[in-house]
Structure 1
Amino acid sequence: MVARVIPVSPFDLVIFGATGDLARRKILPGLFLRFKSGQMPEKARIIGSARSDFDSAEFRKVIGAAIEEFLDEEHRPAEAVTAFLDRLEYVHIDAMGDTGWSDLKAILRDDVIRTFYLSVSPSLFGAIAERLSKHRVATPEARIVVEKPFGHDLASAKALNADLLRYFMEEQIYRIDHYLGKETVQNLMALRFANSLFEPLWNATHIDHVQITVAESLGVGGRGGYYDQSGAMRDMVQNHLMQLLCLTAMEPPSKFAPNSVRDEKVKVIEALDPVAPEDIVRGQYRAGRDEPSYFEDAENPDSRTESFVAMKLKIANWRWAGTPFYLRTGKRLRDRVSEITVVFRDPPHMIFPNPMEGRKGNALIIRLQPDEGITLRTTIKEPGPGGMRLTEVDMDMTFADALGSDLHAQDAYERLIMDVIRGDQTLFMRGDEVEAAWGWADPLIAGWQESGKRPVPYDVGSSGPEEALMLLHRDGRRWRPIGD
């Protein structure tokens, strides 16, 4: 299958922090791939800005090197790279002062979409927004994109929202979470709301429980200092896993429109019951063979910051009453895996005299990474003579196989940036949604800090602490193996 490429309108995209790691590793290579695919119109232009006192030629060299470093050779033909680099310009701007803003205003065009991507520290969001307004660089139709982390707690998230809303309308603000740009995350909505097969079963009557796992095989590495001030709860659960939970559990929106979808996501967060202390497990990876411990990576031998979290959540509404949601995420685990597993209830009466031992039951496994796709586990008769013997098989749709490798290669940033240019906020978080998520997370974090308890240790290359396994075992359930 060949992906349809729908060109966007002409635009000027200004990237603040254009020589930083995220811009070099994800944003600009992603824009190049959209350019190569034909989605970027002739009048589209990308303007980099950073503290470096470059000119446009030097900036093009930096981005050319980044494309060579982060994209495979087959995806970066030389002529396409040269043509893309010709679209780039650079303006040196002092984000905290007034230098360079008049130069930026002078090169922006009035007849195209203006978009400002803030690939910078959140501490600069307010200062840049203020100067975009003060120097009349931003028009009433302009769009502004801000990266996570969006706040450290509810108070700081409210302050960031207030800073942005002084100068931009909510309809102009795009709070990006790259998990929402993954093909499979969007397919979750299509699977539920574009088919009549699953949605009638998508409730507590038919679903036993749901597991959401985001496991990473690497440790915190060079991010140790930052991560030790954050932890798995702030870094992953409050945003990425919460978004996956909302899309899995939300009610059908009245239409596929930004505010309709986001209204339903907010309702899920507001319906979450308080989490009991016994329903949460926090862990830290210990040193392994030739592998440093979390203490060593964080350079803090007394750290009480978690590198692993598992928890049991309950949603207090009619659809999900009695169906638990189990979330887990962690560093230095067995494999790099992100998936949502929806486990259906067993038939109310088993008519077969010899049901298979160790039967896992029907499940829908939605894989976000590394191999995006969907698997449906069903029970069938084992082939061959000798009576009715049951077995389980997986009906698998790996997107790279079913839809073609070109679709599989698309990165979340490619899709989300093009959505910004189109003015589609569906896959971006709204201000009240961010605040609702922090409002849920803050009491849990405060409770941990007040208790002073250390996270429990777990082995590198494991599935996490034994206590996390017991979280499901005591309910008569088991986690889906990581890397299965």
Structure 2
Amino acid sequence: MKERLCPDPARLARAEPAPPASFVIFGAYGDLTKRLLIPALYNLSVAGLLAEGFEVIGVDHNERNDETYRQHLTEAMQGFVANQDGEFAADSLNSRAWGWLRDRLFYLTGDFEDPATYQRLGERLATVRQARGHGNCVFYLATAPRFFGSIVERLAEAGLMREQEGDFRRVVIEKPFGTDLASARALNAQILSLVEERQVFRIDHFLGKETVQNILALRFANGIFEPLWRREHIDHVQITAAETVGVEGRGRFYETTGALRDMVPNHMMQLLAMTAMEAPSNFGADAVRAEKAKVVQAIRPLSPEELARDLVRGQYDAGMLRGAPVPGYRQEPNVAPDSGTETYVAMKLQIDNWRWAGVPFYIRTGKRLAARWTEIAIQFKPAPYTMFRETPVDCMTPNLMVLHIQPNEGISLALSAKQPGPALHLADVRMDFRYADWFKAEPSTGYETLLYDVLIGDASLFQRADNVEAGWAAVQPMLASPPAIEHYAAGSEGPAGAEALLARDGRQWLKLA
């Protein structure tokens, strides 16, 4: 065998610090900033991936100053270390790394829709350029969705999105990007009339998970998988994103959103796209996002008859979770006592292209379920039974590959093997790969890779306008004619209709956890 010389993988894995930049967070006192963005920036500081010229400028309406903002976030970080319940899972706070970041936290009081706010922000950025020698800036919109368009408009009007002398200006927009297809198109049109597509980073934190990114490596860097990744060999695909939490005090927001709008056009469609897309010509942002858009655009819209049969909406009632009673959705604060908002959705989708014709994709996501569990399961077709006909083997168990995304990232593969003994008996066995066993995993919120990519200008893991609109187009018929709500007990696997959805096809969901 001819030896192939490959570059040193350790050298390839090392990343350089991102360019210096001002990181402006609109919604500086919001939950997202405290719980995810600042911990992610802290982890990048620990890794040495932020430049000396980096700083954070928080913008919000609260009357605060630099020191009170720093103290607020210091207390939050210390609280995360103490309770270990959230996404930030560090055992201790690195005083050097936190001190470095803390000294670079600044605060600006302002109304998001007041032009004077942007004038003061512009003056601040001009001072940074003079003092630090750069005008690079990332504007992160960690706000309510109703402010997305107006903030970009105010930034553009103030000249803050204009790039000059080699500096970059980028805007990061959180989900939900629109509430339906029409609003997503309108928001895209508004934003792209003000800035260029390359300046817009529509973020989906699911794509920061290592296993999600590893889908492309698994498929396209391993010769044994890609030839089998098609309708001739795959029976069906299951994509699950289950949560144990309820609406967590966000009843007012959730009442107008629901699980379908909140999860499917973005998170679930991105997982589907990574699983089903064709190989891009290269791993540049445009090539990857073009293939993702194509496969989502190929999803067959559900007809009225299919909506009644292949879409399930559920809402959690009171139940038991981890041995403790929890209230039903209608008993949550700011939720209508007769609410018809779904907290669970399951569906069967078909992709009308050459690779996937006839292969059903089953998707489910919901709150207050039995386990916090996100995975993609690839069920292969069973091997022919012919040669085992004269043996005690009753049936051939199909091979199953599961990509575990959270809480424990890894990949498992179920195989059939002969049991020891004189007779030919088959047993199911499993091969497991866990990231924690092979790689030293640093604490991560899932945002670190994405924030670093924004700073270096790599948009591969971010949604382009056509990606967003394709996701909403697939969901739009479900919003127009949704089926009735079913109820399920908190702590269960979901409504009975979801089990019936697969049972009609002679299949069943994998158990949560």
| Shorter-normalised TM range | over 0.9
Please give the residue correspondences for 1:460-479 in structure 2 after superposition, counting only pairs within 5 Å. 460-479=490-509
Match of 2:285 in 1: 258
Which of 161, 174, 181 is the equivalent residue of 1:154?
Answer: 181
Say if 1:304 and 1:359 are closer, same or farther in 2 by CA, change over 3 A.
farther
- CA deviation vs aligned residue, 1:215-256 (integer Å, no higher than 9, x gap): 111222311221121111101112111111111111111111
Structure 2 counterpart SS, 1:18:
coil
Q: Is the 2:382–2:397 Cα contact (8 Å) retained in structure 1? A: no
Q: Is the 2:32–2:142 Cα contact (8 Å) retained in structure 1? A: yes
Q: Distance in 2 between matches of 1:392 and 1:348?
A: 17
Q: Is the 2:300–2:474 Cα contact (8 Å) retained in structure 1? A: no
Match of 1:319 in 2: 355
Match of 2:311 in 1: 280
Tell me the amino acid that sits aligned with residue 45 of structure 1.
Answer: E
Q: Distance in 2 between matches of 1:420 and 1:299?
A: 36
Q: Is the 1:14–1:46 Cα contact (8 Å) retained in structure 2? A: yes
Say if 1:73 and 1:230 are closer, same or farther in 2 by CA, change over 3 A.
closer
Q: Does 1:437 align with 2:464?
A: no
Q: Does 1:379 align with 2:416?
A: yes
Match of 1:291 in 2: 326
Match of 2:213 in 1: 186
Moved more, 191-200 or 285-294: 285-294
Please give the residue correspondences for 1:362-373 in structure 2 after superposition, counting only pairs within 5 Å. 362-373=399-410
Please give the residue correspondences for 1:51-200 in structure 2 after superposition, counting only pairs within 5 Å. 51-71=61-81, 74-108=91-125, 109-110=128-129, 111-140=134-163, 141-200=168-227
Moved more, 327-336 or 5-14: 5-14
Structure 1 counterpart SS, 2:387:
coil
Q: Distance in 2 between matches of 1:45 and 1:218?
A: 34
Q: Which stretches in structure 2 are left out of the alignment for 5+ residues?
A: 1-8, 82-88
Q: Is the 1:114–1:139 Cα contact (8 Å) retained in structure 2? A: no
Tell me the amino acid that sits aligned with residue 458 of structure 1.
Answer: Y
Structure 1 counterpart SS, 2:362:
strand
Q: Is the 2:392–2:424 Cα contact (8 Å) retained in structure 1? A: no
Q: Does 1:417 align with 2:448?
A: no
TM-score by length of 2: 0.89
Match of 2:462 in 1: 428
Q: Is the 2:259–2:345 Cα contact (8 Å) retained in structure 1? A: yes
Q: Distance in 2 between matches of 1:471 and 1:207?
A: 19
Tell me the amino acid that sits aligned with residue 76 of structure 1.
Answer: L
Runs (4 or more) in structure 1 with deviation over 6 Å come to none
Q: Is the 1:29–1:66 Cα contact (8 Å) retained in structure 2? A: no
Q: Distance in 1 between matches of 2:196 and 2:102?
A: 32
Q: Distance in 1 between matches of 2:206 and 2:21?
A: 25
Q: Is the 2:301–2:477 Cα contact (8 Å) retained in structure 1? A: no
Q: CA deviation at 1:79?
A: 2.8
Structure 1 counterpart SS, 2:177:
coil
Q: Is the 2:39–2:445 Cα contact (8 Å) retained in structure 1? A: no
Q: CA deviation at 1:83?
A: 1.9
Q: Is the 1:309–1:328 Cα contact (8 Å) retained in structure 2? A: yes
Structure 2 counterpart SS, 1:82:
helix
Which of 457, 461, 464 is the equivalent residue of 2:487?
Answer: 457
Q: CA deviation at 1:85?
A: 0.5
Say if 1:355 and 1:29 are closer, same or farther in 2 by CA, change over 3 A.
farther
The percentage of counterpart residues that share the same residue type is 45
Structure 2 counterpart SS, 1:46:
strand
Q: Distance in 1 between matches of 2:67 and 2:393?
A: 67
Moved more, 96-105 or 42-51: 96-105
Structure 2 counterpart SS, 1:405:
coil
- CA deviation vs aligned residue, 1:371-398 (integer Å, no higher than 9, x gap): 011111111112x223222111111111
Structure 2 counterpart SS, 1:81:
helix
Q: CA deviation at 1:84?
A: 1.5
Tell me the amino acid that sits aligned with residue 57 of structure 2.
Answer: I
Q: Distance in 1 between matches of 2:397 and 2:179?
A: 40
Q: Distance in 2 between matches of 1:13 and 1:224?
A: 30
Q: Distance in 2 between matches of 1:46 and 1:322?
A: 50
Say if 1:75 and 1:9 are closer, same or farther in 2 by CA, change over 3 A.
farther
Structure 1 counterpart SS, 2:369:
coil
Q: Distance in 2 between matches of 1:248 and 1:209?
A: 12
Q: CA deviation at 1:291?
A: 2.1
Moved more, 245-254 or 351-360: 351-360
Structure 2 counterpart SS, 1:74:
coil
Q: Does 1:27 align with 2:37?
A: yes
Q: Which stretches in structure 1 are left out of the alignment for 5+ residues?
A: none
Structure 2 counterpart SS, 1:273:
coil
Q: CA deviation at 1:48?
A: 1.2
Structure 1 counterpart SS, 2:427:
strand
TM-score by length of 1: 0.94
Structure 1 counterpart SS, 2:345:
strand
- CA deviation vs aligned residue, 1:323-342 (integer Å, no higher than 9, x gap): 11111111111111000000
Match of 2:261 in 1: 234
Q: Distance in 1 between matches of 2:392 and 2:461?
A: 43
Q: CA deviation at 1:357?
A: 5.7
Moved more, 30-39 or 129-138: 129-138
CA RMSD of aligned residues (A): 1.8
Task: Say how many residue pairs are matched.
Answer: 476
Structure 2 counterpart SS, 1:321:
coil
